[in-house]
Amino acid sequence: MAEFTMELNDEQKEVRDWLHGFAADVIRPAAAEWDEREETPWPVIQEAAKTGIYSLDFYAQQYFDPTGLGIPMAMEELFWGDAGIALSIVGTGLAAVGVLANGTEEQIGTWIPQMYGDVNDVKVAAFCSSEPDAGSDVASMRTRAVYDEAKDEWVINGTKTWATNGGIANVHVVVAVIDPELGSKGHASFIIPPNTPGLSQGQKFKKHGIRASHTAEVILDGVRVPGSCLLGGKEKLDERLARAREKARKGGMGRVKNAAMATFEASRPAVGAMAVGTARAAYEVALDYAKTREQFGRPIIDNQGVAFQLADMRTQIDAARLLVWRASWMAINGRPFTAAEGSMSKLFASETAKTVTAQAIQILGGNGYTREYPVERMHRDAAIYTIFEGTSEIQRLVISRTLSGMPIR
């Protein structure tokens, strides 16, 4: 087990500086344009592919870093550049992790390369879980997958919503219900290969922020996929369902739910790190501005009212990063999340991003409110962090349930 450290090692520092360079030179200058266009920034993704940032190798290297700091460091730097573009770059990684976590070696080898495409023909992937009537309440999902034994095929029907890269992805990973009696334990994930008939894009959402990231509904109408597209395979699914049914029969669904919760605890710090990146970006703009903008014959930072805001902003950002790094270290080292430390880090970092970006607008005054300066975009972007991957309210539910052991509603 790696010791917890707040110091990046030399190799990590090198990667961080390389990512920072990409974020500063390629992502940040393109941010305003793609925010206005509200389209996937394919040329930037391609540029990231050329440098190796948009690849499974890079993502896996950070993901399996034993210190746990690889992913949070990478997310912070990329999202410092711009949240919408960075989400377009890392969105595929989120779908790939679904396959890495649940797929067989063959599935990983077959599908993950198709998620990324190659340098000359980049592709993206989508992870589709949320539905119009199943957002926070994942267990109420309705998309059904039924096994056609004669053909060894799964038939999938339903509507997914809010899918990042939904409909434009080469490969979609779709979560569907196999046994509705078992709640979220009766769900399974499927690969939907490129150009599968029956899968189509529904509405593309026009959003408040992260507008360079494509978000859309995904319609699944009689989609048929081979048995080999069930992540983990049928045998493993049958064993898992049998265990869940047995536990349900004995009234043990509580423990079943906790296993699913552990997975979320491990993935949420990554979203916290994205929020830290956006918050830091806005704070840096505000600090520079406060030191150079003069009113009443002196820089505005000379006023405690402004300087103390910056002090609070930086304190919150550093505290958020510490919570994120702690939770990421715990996740990679298999430490139990006895106080829901993963949720804690996501909650604090996302709320920090919202507060800090709003304070940055205030410090820039009228300029902060315009699109001539990036902080209004950062503020719009920051609003997503308290919503996706579990809203702030859901994080508080998880934390309070974990602390109390009570079924708080």
Say which of 131, 376, 389, 393 is annotated catalytic: 389
Q: Which two tokens stand for residue 367?
A: 């300029």
Q: Which residues pair with 176 in a beta bridge?
A: 188
By CB under 6 A, tell whether 391 contacts ligand FAD: yes
DSSP 52-64: TSSSHHHHHHHHT
Q: Least distance in Å: CB of 148 to ligand FAD?
A: 25
State yes or no: is 393 an active-site residue.
no
Per CB under 6 A, which region of 179-187, 196-204, 326-334, 380-388 contacts ligand FAD? 380-388
Q: Which residues pair with 122 in a beta bridge?
A: 117
Residue 38 parent element (H or E): none
User: In this complex, which beta carbon is closest to ligand FAD, that of residue 157 or of residue 367?
Assistant: 157
User: In this complex, which beta carbon is closest to ligand FAD, that of residue 55 or of residue 215?
Assistant: 215
CB count, 10 Å around CB of 365?
13
Radius of gyration (C-alpha) of the chain in whole angstroms: 22
What is the identity of the amino acid at 187? H
By CB under 6 A, tell whether 227 contacts ligand FAD: no
Which residue in the set 130, 143, 309, 345 belongs to the binding site for ligand FAD (CB under 6 A)? 130
By CB under 6 A, tell whether 387 contacts ligand FAD: yes
- Closest by CA to 22, choosing from 68, 63, 74, is 74
- The alpha carbon dihedral of 346, 352, 355, 359 has a sign of negative
Query: What residue has token string 């939907």?
Result: 192
Q: Which two tokens stand for residue 190?
A: 């499927």
Which residue in the set 218, 394, 398, 399 belongs to the binding site for ligand FAD (CB under 6 A)? 394
For helices 10-22 and 70-81, angle between their N-to-C axes, nearest 10 degrees = 20
Q: Least distance in Å: CB of 104 to ligand FAD?
A: 23
By CB under 6 A, tell whether 139 contacts ligand FAD: no
Q: Least distance in Å: CB of 368 to ligand FAD?
A: 23
The DSSP bridge pattern shows strands 199-204 and 215-226 to be antiparallel
The DSSP bridge pattern shows strands 215-226 and 153-164 to be antiparallel
Residue 152 parent element (H or E): none
Return left, alpha or beta for 65; rule: phi > 0 is left, psi -120 to 50 is alpha, else beta.
beta
Per CB under 6 A, which region of 60-68, 196-204, 304-312, 382-390 contacts ligand FAD? 382-390
Per CB under 6 A, which region of 122-130, 190-198, 325-333, 366-374 contacts ligand FAD? 122-130
Rounded distance between C-alpha atoms, residue 174 and residue 212, angstroms: 23
By CB under 6 A, tell whether 164 contacts ligand FAD: yes
By CB under 6 A, tell whether 212 contacts ligand FAD: no
Q: Least distance in Å: CB of 293 to ligand FAD?
A: 33
Binding mask 282-321 for ligand FAD (x = CB under 6 A): ----------------------------------------
Which residue in the set 191, 266, 384, 398 belongs to the binding site for ligand FAD (CB under 6 A)? 384
Rounded distance between C-alpha atoms, residue 406 and residue 408, angstroms: 6
By CB under 6 A, tell whether 393 contacts ligand FAD: yes
- Closest by CA to 338, choosing from 268, 257, 262, is 262
Per CB under 6 A, which region of 2-10, 42-50, 270-278, 390-398 contacts ligand FAD? 390-398
Q: Least distance in Å: CB of 140 to ligand FAD?
A: 10
**Residues of this chain that bind ligand FAD (CB under 6 A):** 127-130, 135-136, 162-164, 207, 210, 215, 384, 387-389, 391, 393-394, 397
Cite the active site residues: 389
